[in-house]
Structure 1
Amino acid sequence: MINNQELIFAVDENNQPIESVVREKAHAEGIWHRGTDIIVMNDKNEILCNKRSMLKVHSPGCWDPAFGGHCLAGQDILENARQELFEESGLNAKPEDLEFVETIKWDNGLNKEFRYVYVYRWEGDLKDLKLEKEEVDEVKWMDLKNVAANKNNKAEWSPMPYIDLLIKRFSN
């Protein structure tokens, strides 16, 4: 659920904890904070991309190769990744099934985040997903290279600062 007033975990430019702040304030004032990106991939290295709801503040109506969100105040990062994946897709990942890729320091103007990137392998049927309509309009499988080809297409795609890491790690 979208809640711009929730308390998130603020950090300094070295990812050291500072305090809890309201999410809206973190974005408005350029305060560093933490978030998670969970990339769902199948055995063909296709990515389960989601079309962001028009209700989203950032990149509404755009395609996104990751599920994820902001780490709440006091929340464990891995637990946040599991929670965000479940809330947005209905996928209930065990901690050991989330493969940690890397932490990315991402500065997109006022949105300054340390993004913890995970990959979750899934081979299920799209009909079994339970999409959170406030966050996700639709999903579809897309080839990793096709997703990467859109990394600069800001009109139709949400920013994906981790895509080069995925190409390097998972391209055949």
Structure 2
Amino acid sequence: MSAADEILDIVDEQDRVIGQSPRGEAYARGLRHRCVFIQARDAEGRLFVHRRTATKLVFPSLYDMFVGGVVGAGEGYDEAALREAEEELGVSGLPQPEFLFKFLYESEPGLSWWAAVYEVRWEGPVRPQVEEVEWHAFLSEAEVEDRLGEWAWVPDGLAAYERLKEFRRR
């Protein structure tokens, strides 16, 4: 099954399921769905940063400071966070990512999804999926901040990053 054929729950403004749709159709019609964003850190506390492949359905070839993806139909946020983090990092046995908060991401017309933000620490090697990740490195928060104005970042990841910084200041 291709990524475009994956079935997603379609949700309303309160994150209640109101239907289901293939991912490609949900994107094409601007149907609100669910995603997970996981900030992965190494043993030194550095952030996993990567550049998405050119074949991604949304935001191809842009940089991201989160791993993650869509929540499948009938799947919970926690389950999706662990699955997506293990897939994108190319590891197994990852501890359950810690849920931090959820927000409704809305951008240009047709881009709207509920985003659950998590964090996880992984002290072993990573082997990112070549279908998902073109380049990766672990960067300090200062290095990430330095690159915010230099690199082209995924807009939903930037929104999550800013909200996460605000969340941590509380």
Q: What TM-score, normalized to structure 2? A: 0.85
Aligned to 2:95: 94
Q: Give me the whole-angstrom Cα distance separating, in 1, the residues matched to 2:123 and 2:163.
A: 22
Give the CA deviation at 1:13.
1.2
Which structure 2 residue ranges, 5 or more long, are not aligned?
none
Q: CA 1:108 to 1:149, structure 2 compared with 1: closer, same or farther past 3 Å?
A: farther
Q: Give me the whole-angstrom Cα distance separating, in 2, the residues matched to 1:27 and 1:120.
A: 28
Select 2:133's aligned residue among 136, 151, 154: 136
Aligned to 2:160: 162
For 2:40, what is the secondary structure of its paired residue? Answer: strand
Which structure 1 residue ranges, 5 or more long, are not aligned?
none
Q: Give me the whole-angstrom Cα distance separating, in 2, the residues matched to 1:4 and 1:101.
A: 28
Aligned to 1:106: 105
Give the CA deviation at 1:145.
3.8
Q: Give me the whole-angstrom Cα distance separating, in 2, the residues matched to 1:5 and 1:152.
A: 35
| CA contact 2:64–2:153 (8 Å) conserved in 1 | yes
Give the CA deviation at 1:16.
0.7
Deviations 1:121-140 (A, max 9, x none): 1233xxx3222111111210
| CA-atom RMSD in angstroms | 2.2
Give the CA deviation at 1:71.
0.7
Q: Give me the whole-angstrom Cα distance separating, in 2, the residues matched to 1:151 and 1:31.
A: 29
Aligned to 1:84: 84
Give the CA deviation at 1:38.
0.8
Aligned residues with identical type, % of pairs: 25
Q: What TM-score, normalized to structure 1? A: 0.85
Aligned to 2:121: 121
Pair 1:30 & 2:33 matched: no
Report the AA paired with residue 158 of structure 1: V
